DNA sequence: CTAATGGATAAATATTACTTATTCAATCCA
DNA sequence: TGGATTGAATAAGTAATATTTATCCATTAG
């Protein structure tokens, strides 16, 4: 049982396809087939049921799926520990973060990080919190920054940031002078909303509670484009205060609090407690943490 | 970092020699050198200090030495779990046991074991308790049967057997009629003693306490040969009661208790709590355990 | 000072893994 | 239903990797 074979096996099991796994691993399908076959021979039993063109894990396959991940993790950890034995942090630090964090948090953090750890390569997996937690479970990410709350027993969570969702309108908008707005005020407006993700879910929930039917005129995937669109007078939206700092200062956009209880969005740093944290990852969490304590004090 | 490379590395570290490790792994020395070199390149640092013809682990090497064992263990465990996923026990069960256990305990245990698990191959590492615990620490043994007490935090200990050391003399010996003998009686005799091992240590200690100088006329490595020699009138010895059952029944040897506190020798089953116990190993311990409960009731 | 030991190196060879080309079966869709 | 397509297995050729053989060099033991 080679680590390469286990890697191939896990990828096949995840993708539920020999061909897809082959692509991901930059080899051809027969190569993957051969590796799986070798594994099956060594284990004395089939790992996949080939039902026509669909494949399923056998009981033995399920066992290997669980154990295999641990094995590869321990392998990575071992390599890391040895490499860092001289005291230096090195290797690659893989961070998972959502779009907003990438734009408004990570640049400053990495500025400080790179100053102290220039040797460390950084890889960022940008996606919704949910996806990040998924990659985390597969041990493909060292540290994640996600929307709270998360409830997983094997994750350490450090709250780092919290922000209020406010209505954002273009500078000359009819609501721009208001000190606050009600939900009802929004119904008549062209609404531009994020597409997918935690914030979107939150907004859906609120509108359902208010019994207002959410009348969305546009859906956009990024905060930046939402701001641009709002700025161009195409509609209004709800975003985290801090994401529009520059535009409010420049008097392009206006932020207005919603009446009623604040809509708070909390971000937190997460990492697995059942995995070794590389020196680089430790350093990263410390920087984020220290910036956070400074900010909140 | 290949598992093969790690295996080679660990062997070199244990043997403190590339050549010896090569022999053990059935390859040539340059092959081992190449594997270590590849590891060193991948880790970005030397794993061994080559000081002339002696080699030492570098700090990084020490790290790999610790982590590597865990990695290989997890690898073995993974393979085992998958192989046993169908519910059947298989593979090889490696037992560590001292000579006496091999002769007087294991045959009966394995008779029962093989009846229920004919598929399992059995490998026995026969040596003194101390060596067995060493191999155990290297994860090269599944279950051990050793002289108690053992005090190691990661070992589960199940007492299975206890026996009294008694004086053994040939049937026609001048002490043969005695109901018991004193230490002093032994001084005038030709003493045949085991060579090395726990029992020997125990006897040494006792004699030191009694301030008698141990006057050994012969040292033998096995219980069987001690009995033969005693039977042939070459001297007398001290052995566990149960090891001479056949000979006392056949009236070849005579066992006589020592005066004073009994010299008890306790055996126990041990296995590591921080390692996965194969189905076969579980079955083995259960058989030993059940035989023990029956015997003591 | 010589012989022997132990590891490094180089070239040749064996082994293993991978790719390309192809086949076969299952599923999709018209 | 019947091509068309997808996905995995197989076979043969090729590339990559590991291992051996042969040799060298440094250290150490006698």
Is the CB of B25 less than 7 A from some atom of nucleic acid strand D? no
Name the residue of chain B whose CA is nearest to A77's CA: B67
Same domain for B176 and B233? yes
pLDDT in tens, B233-256: 888 888 888 888 888 888 888 899
Mean pLDDT across the stretch B117-140?
Answer: 89
Query: What pLDDT does A297 receive?
Result: 39
Q: Which protein residue lies nearest to nucleotide C10, measured between its Cα and the C1' atom? A: B30
Query: What pLDDT does A82 receive?
Result: 92
List of E strands, B40-120: 48-51, 54-57, 92-97
Tell me the two tokens of residue B80: 């085992």
pLDDT in tens, B259-291: 877 888 888 999 999 898 988 999 999 988 887
Scanning the structure block, which residue is given the tokens 């290997």? Answer: A64
B121 shares contact with chain A (CB less than 8 Å): no
B78 contacts A67? CB cut-off 8 A: yes
Q: Residues 6 or more apart from B21 whose CB is under 8 A from it?
A: B8, B11, B12, B14, B15, B32
pLDDT in tens, A54-94: 899 999 999 999 999 999 999 999 998 999 887 777 778 89
Same domain for B144 and B204? no
Q: How far apart are CA A103 and CA A101, in angstroms?
A: 5
CA A31 / C1′ D12 distance in Å: 14
- Classify the phi-psi angles of B260: left when phi > 0, otherwise alpha if psi is within -120 to 50, otherwise beta: left
A59 shares contact with chain B (CB less than 8 Å): yes
Residues 224-253 of A with CB under 8 A from B: none
| Among the listed residues A266, A229, A226, the one whose alpha carbon sits nearest the alpha carbon of residue A105 | A266
Parallel/antiparallel/unpaired status of strands B48-51 and B54-57: antiparallel
Contacts 24+ apart (CB under 8 A), A274-279: A274/A154, A275/A73, A275/A77, A275/A139, A276/A77, A276/A80, A276/A81, A277/A142, A277/A143, A278/A80, A278/A84, A278/A89, A278/A91, A278/A93, A278/A142, A279/A84, A279/A88, A279/A89, A279/A90
Same domain for A228 and A168? yes
Same domain for B116 and B251? no
pLDDT averaged over every residue in chain B: 87
Confidence of residue A35 (pLDDT cuts 50, 70, 90): very high
Q: Which of A27-36, A224-233, B71-80, B178-187 is predicted least confidently? A: B178-187
Confidence of residue B214 (pLDDT cuts 50, 70, 90): low
Same domain for B94 and B148? yes
| Minimum-distance CB partner of A86 among B45, B67, B78 | B45
pLDDT in tens, A89-135: 777 889 999 888 888 888 888 988 999 888 888 999 998 888 899 99
Chain D: bases < 7 Å from a protein Cβ: 6-12, 18-22, 26-28
Same domain for B44 and B75? yes
Same domain for A15 and A68? yes
Mean pLDDT across the stretch A231-235?
Answer: 83
CA B60 / C1′ D17 distance in Å: 26
pLDDT averaged over every residue in chain A: 87
Percent of chain A's residues with pLDDT above 70: 96
Distance between first and last Cα of chain B: 53
Q: Which protein residue lies nearest to nucleotide C5, measured between its Cα and the C1' atom? A: B53
Same domain for B173 and B223? yes
Q: Which protein residue lies nearest to nucleotide D10, measured between its Cα and the C1' atom? A: A30
Query: What pLDDT does B297 receive?
Result: 39
Query: What pLDDT does A214 receive?
Result: 59
Query: What pLDDT does B5 receive?
Result: 97
Same domain for A169 and A231? yes
Query: What pLDDT does B194 receive?
Result: 81
A85 contacts B67? CB cut-off 8 A: no
Confidence of residue A294 (pLDDT cuts 50, 70, 90): low
Q: How far apart are CA A6 and CA B287, in angstroms?
A: 35
Confidence of residue B144 (pLDDT cuts 50, 70, 90): very high
Mean pLDDT across the stretch B119-147?
Answer: 90
Percent of chain B's residues with pLDDT above 70: 96
Alpha carbon A268 to chain centroid, angstroms: 11
Separation in Å, CA of B279 to nearest CA in chain A? 15
Higher pLDDT, B183 or A254: A254
Task: Give the CATH number for residue B216.
Answer: 3.40.190.10
- Please report how many Cα atoms fall inside a 13 Å half-sphere around the Cα of residue A147, on the Cβ side: 19
Confidence of residue B295 (pLDDT cuts 50, 70, 90): low
Residue B254 phi, psi (nearest 5):
-130, 135
- Please report how many Cα atoms fall inside a 13 Å half-sphere around the Cα of residue B79, on the Cβ side: 18
Mean pLDDT across the stretch B135-144?
Answer: 91
Alpha carbon B225 to chain centroid, angstroms: 19
Distance between first and last Cα of chain A: 53
Is the CB of A17 less than 7 A from some atom of nucleic acid strand D? yes
CA B206 / C1′ C17 distance in Å: 63
- CB contacts of B76 in chain A (<8 Å) are none
| Minimum-distance CB partner of A43 among B58, B63, B79 | B79
Per the structure, the complete domain to which residue A73 belongs is given by 3-82
Is the CB of A29 less than 7 A from some atom of nucleic acid strand D? yes
Query: What pLDDT does A211 receive?
Result: 63
A44 shares contact with chain B (CB less than 8 Å): yes
A92 shares contact with chain B (CB less than 8 Å): no
Is the CB of B38 less than 7 A from some atom of nucleic acid strand D? yes
Same domain for A60 and A77? yes
Local structure of residue B276 (DSSP, 8 states): P
Residue A225 phi, psi (nearest 5):
-70, -35
Query: What pLDDT does B213 receive?
Result: 63
Query: What pLDDT does A213 receive?
Result: 62
Query: What pLDDT does B124 receive?
Result: 92
Query: Which nucleotide lies at the shortest CA–C1' distance from A37?
Result: D9
- CB contacts of A69 in chain B (<8 Å) are none
Confidence of residue A7 (pLDDT cuts 50, 70, 90): very high
Is residue A174 within 8 A of residue A294, CB to CB? The reply is: no
Query: What pLDDT does A241 receive?
Result: 85
- CB contacts of A42 in chain B (<8 Å) are 79
Same domain for A49 and A74? yes
List of E strands, B52-91: 54-57
Query: What pLDDT does A56 receive?
Result: 92
Query: What pLDDT does A130 receive?
Result: 87
Query: What pLDDT does B67 receive?
Result: 94
B44 shares contact with chain A (CB less than 8 Å): yes
Task: Give the CATH number for residue B74.
Answer: 1.10.10.10
For residue B95, give the 3-state DSSP assignment: strand
Query: What pLDDT does B89 receive?
Result: 74
Q: Is the pLDDT of residue B34 over 90?
A: yes
Domain count, chain B: 3
Is residue B266 within 8 A of residue B161, CB to CB? The reply is: yes
Mean pLDDT across the stretch B130-143?
Answer: 90
CA B15 / C1′ D27 distance in Å: 19
pTM of the model: 0.78
Kindly tell me the burial class for residue B158, based on how many C-beta atoms sit within 10 Å of its own C-beta (0-12, 13-18, 19 or more): middle
Q: Is the pLDDT of residue B191 over 60?
A: yes
Is the CB of A49 less than 7 A from some atom of nucleic acid strand D? no
Query: What pLDDT does A141 receive?
Result: 93
Q: Is the pLDDT of residue B55 over 70?
A: yes
Same domain for A156 and A170? no
Q: How far apart are CA B217 and CA B173, in angstroms?
A: 17
Three-state secondary structure of chain A:
CCHHHHHHHHHHHHHCCHHHHHHHCCCCHHHHHHHHHHHHHHHCCCCEEEECCEEEECHHHHHHHHHHHHHHHHHHHHHHHHHHHHCCCCCEEEEEECHHHHHHCHHHHHHHHHHHCCCCEEEEEECCHHHHHHHHHCCCCCEEEEECCCCCCCEEEEEEEEEEEEEEEECCCCCCCCCCECHHHHHCCCEEEECCHHHHHHHHHHHHHCCCCCCEEEEECCHHHHHHHHHCCCCEEEEEHHHHHHHHHCCCEEEECECCCCCEEEEEEEEECCCCCCHHHHHHHHHHHHHHHHHHC
Final residue belonging to a domain, choices A46, A64, A82: A82
Query: What pLDDT does A295 receive?
Result: 53
């Amino acid at each position: 049982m080679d680590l390469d074979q286990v890697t191939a096996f896990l990828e096949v099991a995840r993708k539920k396809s020999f061909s897809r796994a082959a692509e991901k691993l930059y080899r051809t399908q027969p190569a993957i087939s051969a590796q799986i076959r070798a594994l099956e021979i060594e284990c004395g039993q089939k790992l996949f049921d080939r039902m026509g063109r669909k494949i399923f894990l056998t009981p033995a396959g399920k066992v290997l799926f669980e154990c295999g991940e641990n094995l590869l993790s321990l392998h990575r950890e071992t390599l890391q520990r040895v490499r860092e034995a001289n005291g230096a942090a090195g290797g690659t630090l893989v961070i998972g973060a959502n779009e907003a964090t990438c734009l408004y948090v990570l640049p400053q953090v990495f500025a400080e990080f790179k100053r102290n750890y220039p040797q460390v390569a950084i890889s960022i997996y940008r996606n919704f919190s949910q996806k990040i937690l998924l990659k985390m479970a597969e041990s493909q990410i060292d540290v994640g920054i996600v929307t709270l709350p998360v409830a997983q027993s094997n994750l350490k969570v450090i709250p780092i940031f919290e922000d209020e969702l406010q209505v954002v309108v273009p500078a000359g908008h009819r609501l721009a002078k208001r000190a606050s707005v009600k939900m009802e005020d929004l119904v008549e407006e062209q609404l531009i909303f994020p597409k997918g993700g935690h914030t979107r879910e939150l907004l859906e929930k609120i509108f359902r509670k208010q019994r207002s039917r959410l009348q969305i005129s546009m859906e956009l995937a990024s905060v930046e484009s939402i701001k641009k669109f709002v700025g161009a007078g195409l509609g209004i939206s709800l975003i985290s205060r801090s994401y529009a700092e520059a535009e409010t200062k420049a008097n392009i956009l206006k932020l207005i609090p919603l009446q009623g209880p604040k809509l708070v969005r909390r971000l937190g740093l997460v990492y697995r407690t059942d995995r070794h944290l590389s020196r680089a990852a430790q350093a990263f969490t410390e920087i984020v943490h220290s910036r956070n304590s400074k900010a909140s004090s």
